[in-house]
Structure 1
């Protein structure tokens, strides 16, 4: 239900663009290439099962979790365009 000057279906288009951006970001973060046998961060051996499951893996599970926590800053871009959001 669009209001004001927004065209019909504008909210759905915004949702779809946000999802597309999130998928593109996730794909760009996927490892590529040959998996390492030892973690880049701590030099612990990466189990073969992990290397087979995640092609191009470079970090052990513990270091990957820490890396993911640091990278968890998601985009908070406001595409709503409501008057309230424009005044901030």
Structure 2
């Protein structure tokens, strides 16, 4: 099958590169270093189990959930990359 200038696996290579970039970006946002014993936002004690599970944790569960909600609200939704928008 003729594909023009692109190689046979070019589309899959582009998808793989996009996924690798997203993983790298997500890992770069993970906390590093020693965990805090108290939340840096509300000064609530961070449970030992959380500190062991997430090295470098800086927020209690409640503050982390709030921060995650705020980030989701600000991130938006990419309609151009959505499968639904391509089907219409």
TM-score, length-normalised on structure 2? 0.72
Secondary structure at the residue paired with 1:71? helix
**Unaligned runs of at least 5 residues, structure 1:** 80-88
- On the 8 A contact 1:36/1:46 being kept in 2, the answer is yes
State the partner residue of 1:18.
18
More helix by proportion, 1 or 2?
2
Q: How many residues align?
A: 78
- Identify unmatched segments of 5+ residues in structure 2: 82-88
CA distance in 2, matches of 1:37, 1:57: 9
The worse-fitting range, judged by mean Cα deviation, of 59-68 and 4-13 is: 4-13
Q: What's the CA shift for 1:41?
A: 1.1
TM-score (norm 1): 0.72
Find the aligned partners of 2:31 and 2:43 in 1 and give their Cα distance. Answer: 18
CA contact (8 A) 1:31 1:55 kept: yes
